[in-house]
Amino acid sequence: MSRIVRGQVFVVDDNIDTDQIIPAEYLTLVPSKPDEYDKLGSYAMAGLPDRYGKFMVEGAMKSLYPIVIAGENFGCGSSREHAPIALGAAGIEAVVAQSYARIFFRNCTATGELYPWESIDRLCDRFVTGQIANLDFANNRITNETTGEIFELKPLGDIAPVIDAGGLFAYARLTGMIPTRT
């Protein structure tokens, strides 16, 4: 996989829950409707405490940050699929966290919205929001271009082709596990 994601990072720390990623009041939006999918992205990270700063520019539908850097237990809380969908709709391509709540990790894979990379080091202490990062899929590493530091990541493994395909059902159709829609 020779993909590279480069851009500004948005940094949070531990225990960012799904209510912070997408507050419950926005769960009435239906992601399969294109206009509601976009609107869902505009509310991504709307539940974060003010100490993190603004994830979305007022009135924007897409975030300035293609990469989120997090600490431990990212995506904890309820099992809402809307959480990775909201991040994907906001333009997030990857989250790099020290660890994930299992259901959030699985929902990233099932929806195909974003890549949940696991870091070896505690990167939320090594990056600052707004710094530029280069996430190198082929070499399982992320570079903080501002400081020049390079950090190894755990390989994505078997989930990469599922996310590449656009999620679990798209992957199953692609590989012939289920019939292609006509």
Q: What is the tens place of the pLDDT at every residue in 33-45?
A: 999 999 999 999 9
Structure tokens, 100? 């994930």
pLDDT tier, 181 (very low <50, low <70, confident <90, very high otherwise): confident
Nearest to 123 by CA among 92, 154, 90, 101: 154
Model confidence pLDDT, tens digit, residues 97-126: 999 999 999 999 999 999 999 999 999 999
Whether 155 contacts 141, CB under 8 Å: no
Fold (CATH) for 4-154: Aconitase; domain 4 (3.20.19)
Structure tokens, 154? 């755990």
Structure confidence at residue 11 (pLDDT): 98
Quick check: helix, strand or coil at residue 76? strand
* pTM for this model (two decimals): 0.94
Whole-number average pLDDT of the chain: 95
Averaged pLDDT, 159-182: 89
